[in-house]
Chain A
Amino acid sequence: MTVGTAFHPRTSALNQHLQWRAWSGFFAASAYHDSHVIEYNAIREAAALIDVSPLFKYELRGPDAVRLVDRLIVRDASKLVPGRVLYTPWCDEHGKVLDDGTIHRLEDEGAAQVIRWTAADPQIRWLRMNAHGLDVEVRDVSDSVAAVALQGPLSRAVLEAATGTSFADLGYFRRRTATLAGIPIDVSRTGYTGDLGYELWIPAERAVEAWDALVAAGAPYRLRPAGMLALDVVRLEAGLILIEVDYTSAVHSHIPGQNYSPYEIGLGRLVDLGSGDFIGRRALVAELAAGGPARRLVGLDIEWPDIEALYAAQGLAPSAPPIVSRSPVPVFAAGRQVGRVTSTGWSPILKKMLGLGSVAFAHARTGTRLDMEWTVEARRGTVAARVVDLPFFDPARKRA
């Protein structure tokens, strides 16, 4: 049964066309407005509120909380000092990615370190299985913590207006506590949009109050609620991968080819093989020693004139599908398939058709020209696509 998130009393009233999808058992708005493009514009030009409460959230508490993180993530957890947030994948023993998410170090409470761990899929068993011998308690706080992303170039102004405090000093991937309308919340400079933005972690029982306070403070800044369709476009522009779309969790893979190492999904830069052991490290060392994985994540800049030509061939005016396609399509080099594109969509701000894909290493170098399948009116064709660096869109304000 699908249920509402802690914000549902507000989001359900805003969802004009009852466009819902299910996200981890919760109703998540696909779009609130007539078109999700309005919401996209709010994210890129003003500010938007995105209910991300369906994320799985865990609290790790105890003197060994960071040691548990260190056992699991591919990154060097010693960087995870209070106030820091790390984005990271974590792997199984074969070095295959289980999930990716952000890990937040809250303030210590006496001898206890406190961590907030977010994930797309349930992790409680994995976290507890790996806590053997460590003094740390792992709790699922998914239901007691509501989460909303406040994203967009004006998000800081909205946040400052809502909390009455400056956030100029809160750096990228940092967090701190704040008070919003008398509600103690936690604010992290994180998001899934590639833009300036924050995620607010709010006691679930006061989620509606917090929402109202943000909406009131955001009115002068044209703050809007934004749904999953708009989020999908901005995350594609930001080159951010999506689990079960751009890669398959090792938990859900049915065949070896569905397993991905961090090096295959563009997260190799995060892997620190030298700063102590973590689950999967040995397999990743071996993978590198064997020359690295055979496929890599690439960004693709898809030739619009080629798409136009396919439409023209059938006497049709060209059309750019407004939402991101999550249907994988084959990619070719010299007529042979060398990979697939897993997310495809039009970027309104870049005026380009973009793709995220997984292609053979030999064809993954920036500038490589590939062909991808493009279907118009159920007739298959190919269009040119060039490998480009990620992210596609990377405004300075994201980190500023």
Chain B
Amino acid sequence: MSSRLSASYDAIVGGGGHNGLVAGAYLARAGLRTLVLEKRATLGGTVETRPLSDGRRAPGLFPTVGRLRPSVARELDLRAHGLALVAPEVRVFAPQPDGRAVTLWADAARTAAELRAWSAGDGAAWVEFDRHVRALSTFVASLNDATPPATSGGSLADAITGLLLGRAFKKLSRDDARQLLRVLPMAIADFVAESFDSEPVRAAVAMRAVMFTALGVWSMGTTAALLADSAGNDGGAPGQVVYARGGPGALAAALAAAARGFGAEIRTGAEVAGVTTVEGRVTGVTLASGDEIAAPIVASGLDPKRTLLDLLPPLELGPNLRWRVGNIRQPGRVARVNFGLAALPAFPAAGDRDEAPRRLRGRILVGATGLDDMERAFDASKYGHVSDELLLEATIPTLVDPSLAPDGGHVMSVIAQYVPYRPAGGTWDAAAREALGDRVVARLESVAPGIGRLVTSREVMTPLDLEAEYGLTGGHPYHQEPALDAWFAWRPLVGHARYRMPVAGLYLVGPGAHPGGGVTGAPAQNAVKEILADWKKRR
């Protein structure tokens, strides 16, 4: 392969997903000549708005953007770059087999009042539970803001981090502080059962602790996952629901505009095929086209396995680290099914035609009927099966943003939780993919009878499709399982949690790095601080 050195930059960002764009924007903002390279034709990665065959538009994978770190939005002035957010008053709507539903609202008092219908105790417990989750999440947010400490030879920066974390810890009330260390490793099932009696309420809250993971509600550490989901945003106990007007892709567009505004260059259709090195230092990247681009800094928004195993020359990584990276767990366990709908489907549990839309604007949970029901759905997936009790989280973004369905009707985007990456005894061929789509429709019919007849278009993406489309190794939306052994100083690997990869000049800026996955921009924002610290030292 002939290589052509086409240009040189201060920093190259590999991957134009939302974290890559955040990194590109911050690097350019700091004055570095920055180039963002994206393999696909569109920016944003999983945070995109993609067309359905009927002309309507739907989310790529993540339907909402409410976890975006407020400082990212503020510092990059995303509103000026066209980002408009819509936050409905409802967060969660979980219809139940008996025709009733659990509804969680942004307003804790309103939620508490409704939960009394399920159990007087649950209604009474809600406000305190919400406060408790918010308090603990605040500490987790402090952890999320910090670069994890070095595992050997602590520096002054580590001492300061320790001090700040200590201060954040002290801000917790004595009771909350004592609770924090107790609850972080807990299974979410146990955590919610401490506050709530009724299974539907427990399930509706617990759902968010396992979304996008290969963890069940009885898995250890899922309480930490729930707290992380609410950390740094207004999620609280029910979790955030914030839509970007124009779909999630509008966030990517705003980030790209911000990055370009700071002077970053962004190229699509440019796949990074390798990171070039000389004597343990990054020298640039090679593209799939054969082009070589020089830069002393390469920030990878790709997942750690792809970054380290596929892009680096094998001897740079070395066999021991290669073995450790090979063991990083990325078990994709979700599928995403988008529907174009001729009309708003009727959810009997949501009330009449006036009331229903108000309850359907948040996350609609199907199958969140009890902790054991959810665990059974998880169990099946462990062995490569899709449970009959498949869990769904559906959103109908057109209820707040009709622009996604220019000719009317609605769009529904469904995350099917606990769909295995490797189905037992088979693979995700076209027939299996469509059969999964049919099962999702059937499952939706159980809470929205007649929805199947409204479907005008459908796009099913299995975990394998998510891997192929978005480059997610193993199909995992978070690049690495958000388990306790892959958290903070252990993410992506202990000894490599400070965004610097083992080759000087190579950084991880995606969710494989602390603080992990979701539409936050946080790993990239954190990483750029470290990149710039090194950059200043070098000069």
Q: Are B314 and A282 in contact (CB under 8 A)?
A: no
Contacting residues, chain B, for A278 (C-beta < 8 A) = 315
Chain A: interface size category: 10 to 19
Q: Are B319 and A282 in contact (CB under 8 A)?
A: no
A341 to chain B, nearest CB (A): 34
Most chain A beta carbons < 10 A, residue from B279, B313, B319: B319
Taking CB atoms and an 8 Å cut-off, the chain B residues in 310-345 that contact chain A are 313-315, 318-320, 322-323
Contacting residues, chain A, for B313 (C-beta < 8 A) = 277
B282 to chain A, nearest CB (A): 15
Q: Are B279 and A129 in contact (CB under 8 A)?
A: no
Taking CB atoms and an 8 Å cut-off, the chain A residues in 92-138 that contact chain B are 93, 126, 129-130, 132-133
Q: Knowing A282-B279, A282-B280 are in contact, say whether A132-B320 is a contact too (CB < 8 A).
A: no
Expressed in whole angstroms, the Cα–Cα distance for A282 and B314 within the complex equals: 14
A71 at the interface (CB under 8 A from B): yes
Closest to A130 in B: B319
Q: Knowing A132-B309, A132-B314, A133-B314 are in contact, say whether A93-B319 is a contact too (CB < 8 A).
A: yes
Contacting residues, chain A, for B320 (C-beta < 8 A) = 93, 129
A279 at the interface (CB under 8 A from B): yes
A290 to chain B, nearest CB (A): 15
Chain B 166-186 interface 0/1 with A at a Cβ cutoff of 8 Å (1 = within)? 000000000000000000000
Expressed in whole angstroms, the Cα–Cα distance for A14 and B309 within the complex equals: 53
Q: Are B280 and A279 in contact (CB under 8 A)?
A: no
Contacting residues, chain B, for A281 (C-beta < 8 A) = 315
Chain A 54-97 interface 0/1 with B at a Cβ cutoff of 8 Å (1 = within)? 00000000000000000100000000000000000000010000
Contacting residues, chain A, for B319 (C-beta < 8 A) = 93, 126, 129-130, 132, 279
Expressed in whole angstroms, the Cα–Cα distance for A360 and B6 within the complex equals: 51
Select one of B279, B280, B314 contacting A71, CB under 8 A. B314
Closest to A126 in B: B319
Contacting residues, chain B, for A71 (C-beta < 8 A) = 314-315
Chain B 111-147 interface 0/1 with A at a Cβ cutoff of 8 Å (1 = within)? 0000000000000000000000000000000000000
B312 to chain A, nearest CB (A): 11
Closest to A133 in B: B314
Expressed in whole angstroms, the Cα–Cα distance for A277 and B278 within the complex equals: 11
Expressed in whole angstroms, the Cα–Cα distance for A279 and B318 within the complex equals: 7
Contacting residues, chain A, for B279 (C-beta < 8 A) = 282
Q: Knowing A282-B279, A282-B280 are in contact, say whether A129-B314 is a contact too (CB < 8 A).
A: no
Contacting residues, chain A, for B309 (C-beta < 8 A) = 132
Closest to A282 in B: B280
Most chain A beta carbons < 10 A, residue from B313, B318, B320, B323: B318
Closest to B277 in A: A277
B157 to chain A, nearest CB (A): 27
Q: Knowing A278-B315, A279-B315 are in contact, say whether A129-B322 is a contact too (CB < 8 A).
A: yes
Contacting residues, chain A, for B318 (C-beta < 8 A) = 93, 279
Expressed in whole angstroms, the Cα–Cα distance for A281 and B280 within the complex equals: 11
Q: Knowing A277-B315, A279-B315 are in contact, say whether A132-B280 is a contact too (CB < 8 A).
A: no
Most chain B beta carbons < 10 A, residue from A71, A130, A278: A130
Expressed in whole angstroms, the Cα–Cα distance for A132 and B320 within the complex equals: 12
Expressed in whole angstroms, the Cα–Cα distance for A281 and B323 within the complex equals: 20
A70 to chain B, nearest CB (A): 10
Chain B 69-100 interface 0/1 with A at a Cβ cutoff of 8 Å (1 = within)? 00000000000000000000000000000000
A71 to chain B, nearest CB (A): 6
Contacting residues, chain B, for A132 (C-beta < 8 A) = 309, 314, 319, 322
Select one of B280, B315, B323 contacting A129, CB under 8 A. B323
Most chain A beta carbons < 10 A, residue from B313, B315, B322: B315
Contacting residues, chain B, for A279 (C-beta < 8 A) = 315, 318-319
Chain B 46-76 interface 0/1 with A at a Cβ cutoff of 8 Å (1 = within)? 0000000000000000000000000000000
- Interface set of A (CB-CB < 8 Å, partner B): 71, 93, 126, 129-130, 132-133, 277-279, 281-282
- Known A71-B314, A93-B318, A132-B314; 13 more pairs at CB < 8 Å: A71-B315, A93-B319, A126-B319, A129-B319, A129-B320, A129-B323, A277-B313, A278-B315, A279-B315, A279-B319, A281-B315, A282-B279, A282-B280
What are 5 inter-chain pairs, A to B, with CB distance below 8 A? A129-B319, A129-B323, A279-B319, A281-B315, A282-B279
5 nearest CB pairs, A to B: A129-B319, A93-B318, A277-B315, A130-B319, A132-B314
